[in-house]
Structures are given as C-alpha cells and as structure tokens.
Amino acid sequence: MLGSFTLVRDGTTVPLPVDARRVVAYLAVHPRPQPRHALAADLWPGVPSDAASRLLDEAVDAIGVAGLPVDSVDEELALTAGVEVDLAEAMALVRELPERPVLGPSEIGPLCADILPSWTSSWIAVERERFRQLRLYALEELSLRLIAAARHDDAIEIAQIAVHAAPSRESARRALIEAHLAQGNIAAAVAQYDAYRELLRSSVGGPVATALDTVLPPSPAWPAVRGFRRPVQRSAVALPGLRSIRNAPTASRRLVTGGSITGPGR
C-alpha cells in the first residue's frame, strides 16, 4: 500500500484485475469490516446502487486468492486477520516511536512513502493525507530526538525525508535547519533557510514572514556565507607560441604570437 500496490503470497507476486485491486486496497486502508453497500458506493461513486453492488460482487470473485476477503453474515467485507499490510505496520510504528529507543534511517522504512500516491480516487485521498500528516510529524520528532542524542547525520537524513515529502512544510524545514546547526554546518542551515524563503516567495509572489526567521541566531557572518561562491577553475592549458600577461596594465594586456609584450603604441 505504501508507494505502490503489491499483493504477495508465499513470496510470489499475485496479479489482480483493476477492480479487484481496488477492493483489496480499500479493505487494507480500512481494517474494520466494511458494509458491502457502503464499499460499493465509495468504489463506484455516481453508479446506481444495484449496478455498483454487481460490480463489487464481480470484483470480489475476480480476486482469486482463497480467504483474502472475508464476507461476514452481516453483509460486510474485511481482509483475513492473517494478511500483513505495510500501512498497518507503519501506523504501529508511529504509535510506538515515543516509547522506543531512538531509531535510525534504516529502521523507519514504512514512514518514507505515502499511500498509493498515483491513485486519484477521493476515498484514498483522504486516508493518504491523514497518514501523510502522521508520518511527517513522526519524522520531525524523531529528527529532534536524534539531535538530542548527538546523532546529527541521522537527524539530517531523516529531516531531509520529511522536507522531500513536503518542501513547503515549515516544521519539516525547521527540523532540518536545526539538525544542520547542531552539527555546526552553518552554511547548510543558511542554504535551507534561503531555499525555503525563495520557495514561499515564488509561491505567493512576494516576501513572506515565517517563524523560521528566528531560527538562525543573529550573526555578521550570514552575508559572507550567503555570498560565498566557489572560485571558477581557470584552464591551465598552454597553447604553443601563445602567452598572456595577467599582471600587466589593462592597456597592454593582450595575447600575442611569439615575440614579447610591449607597452601601448608598440
């Protein structure tokens, strides 16, 4: 469910028709038993109820995986209890993070992707945004805990995941800036601050005041940091018979072939 839809059974990917895939995805996002009429209405909005119910029956029959959807006596559908869903694992991780030891980037894989980002149905959009807010908040809090534990590289990496997912989210950008500052990387912190200000300026068409304006401590070094440019590397290739005078007066700085360089008028 996270990133893309995949159904795996005994290590083998199981292909599903489109409508069957939508039924399984809906039940994976909604772990409680779902009334068939409500499920049909959500999956086929605007379709008459009788026709939507027939489409649902056909989709369930097309799943072809024994025991995957469970049809209860109350006309409800749910996934079998033994089905493992990565979204459920991610939600459990979000709930457990405050009580668990501080995790690193390699241990938070379920929090690095949204629910089926390429799907456009309205029923998935609501759940996607809900989970997205939860996972971004968890990533930001984890980054701050890593800063407190002096694990600055891990804090930066996790904050970057949050910024990549939501570039205009102020709290995510703050976490990344604070991680850079904690590491002592002032230039990177200033670059993130300026990038965020430019993102907002391009979005609204003018300067925007944000709470990040107070994150960077006052320092006369900021103009120098912002104005730093890596020097352009000049070619060191020498052409045969071609010489240049770099330290000569402007009037006599010219290229000649052979001979010597003389002053003006010669």
Rounded Cα distance, 57 and 50, in Å: 11
What is the DSSP secondary-structure string of 238-261?
--TTEE--SSS-GGG---EESS--
Q: Please give the structure tokens belonging to residue 58.
A: 């056909």
C-beta neighbour count of 96 within 10 angstroms: 10
- Where would I find the beta strands (DSSP E) of 34-132? 34-35, 69-71, 76-79
The three-class DSSP label of residue 103 is coil
Radius of gyration in angstroms for the set of CA atoms belonging to the chain, rounded to a whole number:
30
- Give the start-end residues of each E strand in the chain: 8-9, 12-13, 34-35, 69-71, 76-79, 242-243, 256-257
d(C-alpha 172, C-alpha 166), whole Å: 8
pLDDT confidence band for 219 (50 / 70 / 90): low
Q: Which of 138, 189, 194, 132 shows the shortest CA–CA distance to 165?
A: 132
For the segment 41-100, what is each residue's pLDDT rounded down to a tens digit?
999 999 999 999 999 999 999 998 887 888 776 789 999 988 999 999 999 999 999 999
Model pTM above 0.75: yes
* Rounded average pLDDT over 143-160: 97
Q: Residues with Cβ < 8 Å from 149, sequence gap 6 or more?
A: 102
pLDDT score recorded for residue 253: 38
Q: For residue 126, what pLDDT band results from cuts at 50, 70 and 90?
A: very high
| Whether residue 240 has pLDDT greater than 80 | no
CA distances from 54 to 40, 61, 69 (A): 9, 11, 16
At residue 22's C-alpha, the angle toward residues 17 and 27, to 5°, is 130
CA distance linking residue 200 with residue 50, whole number of Å: 49
CA distance 88 to 32: 12
